[in-house]
Structures are given as C-alpha cells and as structure tokens.
Amino acid sequence: MLNVPPVVTVTLVAMGLVHAVRVWLLSPRADLELLKFFAFVPARYEQAAQCGVPSGFAVDAWTFVSYALIHGDVTHLGVNAVWYLAFGSAVARRFHAARFLIFFAVTAAAGAGVHLLTHGPECVPMVGASAAISGCMAAAIRFAFQRGGPLGLWRAQDTHAYQVPAAPLLVAITDPRVLAFLVVWFALNILLGVGSISLGGEQQEVAWQAHIGGFLAGLLLFPWFDPVAQAERQRSLD
C-alpha cells in the first residue's frame, strides 16, 4: 500500500478526479452529458438516437475504455480502489507501465464487449473499473501464489517475487486461495452494487457480464502480456 507502482497511482488519481469533477463541479445536466459521451451505453451501437446519446467512430471506440474511469458513487469508487491497489499493483510490478496500461484497456474493452453482447440496445449506462480489475485479478492469480511469488508460502525478495514463472492455467484456477479471493470479490459486488447512476431515469445494476468478460480476458490473454513468459520462450529458442 505504501509502495504503489506509479502507473496504478496515476490511474487511481484519474478515477478520483473524474468523480470529484462530477460531484463538485458539474451541474446535473452537465453530468448527464458527460455520461452520454464517456459511459458505456449499449444502445449507442444500434439505437443511439432513441436514447439521446452521441454516436460515431470516435465515441463508439473510446467508450469501450473511458467508462472504466467513471464510478457511480464514492462507495463504488472506494471498493474498486481497494481491489485495484491489491491486484493492479501486483500486475503492474510484473508488466511495468506501458504494458500494464494496454492490459487495463484491453480487459476493460473485453468487459464492455461482453456487456454489449448480453444487454442489446439498452439505454442504461455502464461505469466503473470492475472489468479491468477483474482482469488484473485473473492475471495476478497466474503468478501471485506461486512458490516465491508475492502471496506464496515461501516468498522471495520483493524484487524477485513478481518475476516468478506463471502457473499453468488449470493449476491457477483450482487453487483454493484463488477461489476464496474470487468469492469475496463477487460477494462484495452483490452486496454493494455499483452505486446510483442513471441515464433517462434508468438505474444501473451490477454488470456481472462485464466482470466475467474482463476476468476471462485477463486469464486467457495473460501470456501475451507477460514479459517473464516471453523471456522464457526466447531463452528456449536460443
């Protein structure tokens, strides 16, 4: 907590600033316009005019990621921040800044994509970093519980704990400690929801499909981003 990677600090500050601007600086009308341009609204891709949201290549593309910087209320932001600090920091230490930011964007987009497929032309906006955090959780479980890893029983020094070889996929997802973390994460989402946020009077609900999309993307795409695995493959070729 006291040695958070700068890239995690910067993204978390960005989330906090966005929420502060919405709460303290924007009028309700201006806040609604912000949601229309930056929240993920499934109807944007089929019935944008019906929901009164803008569409076009640029806004259609950036909302796949920009929604992750917006949160429903301070509780939603606070809960996400705690889990992001824990799992995002672990992944950022392994991936480093540029690779981590791309990973964050890809898992956020994957969550939005699954949400779009399962919610059709709905006008209800989706906000929050939960899909990307779920992706970070999935990535972290591939290495964090390994021998010498940051959460392993036999932990190496910090400089080496985040560079241990990743666990095979099946081993990672059947570890009881991993399953316990996942149960807690999803239980918190059920209990706390995503706060109150609306577009046209419709209330937001927990975006389970997006969480699953982000988690699966993080779990399956982890080897593509993992510099340790890539270095191992290169050594085997040499």
Taking the domains of the chain in order of start, what are their residue ranges? 6-237
| pLDDT digits 0-9 by tens, 213-235 | 999 999 999 999 999 877 766 66
Query: pLDDT tens digits for 119-177?
Result: 888 888 999 999 999 999 999 989 988 877 876 544 555 767 888 889 888 888 888 87
- What is the domain class of 6-237 according to CATH? mainly alpha
Query: pLDDT at residue 201 above 70?
Result: no
Using the predicted structure, report yes or no on whether residue 27 has a pLDDT greater than 90.
yes
148 dihedral zone (left: phi>0; alpha: psi -120 to 50; beta): left
Res 172: pLDDT: 82
Q: What does the DSSP 8-state code read for residue 85?
A: I
Nearest CA among 151, 175, 173 for reference residue 161? 151
- Which percentage of the chain shows pLDDT scores above 70? 84
CA 49-55-57 angle, 5° bins: 155
pLDDT value at residue 84: 95
Range 96-100 contact pairs with CB under 8 angstroms and sequence separation of 24 or more: 96/7, 96/227, 97/5, 97/6, 97/7, 99/225, 99/227, 100/5, 100/7, 100/8
Q: Stretch 13-39: mean pLDDT, rounded?
A: 96
Percent of the chain predicted with pLDDT > 90 = 55
Q: What is the mean pLDDT of residues 41-63?
A: 92
Place of tokens 């040695």: 3
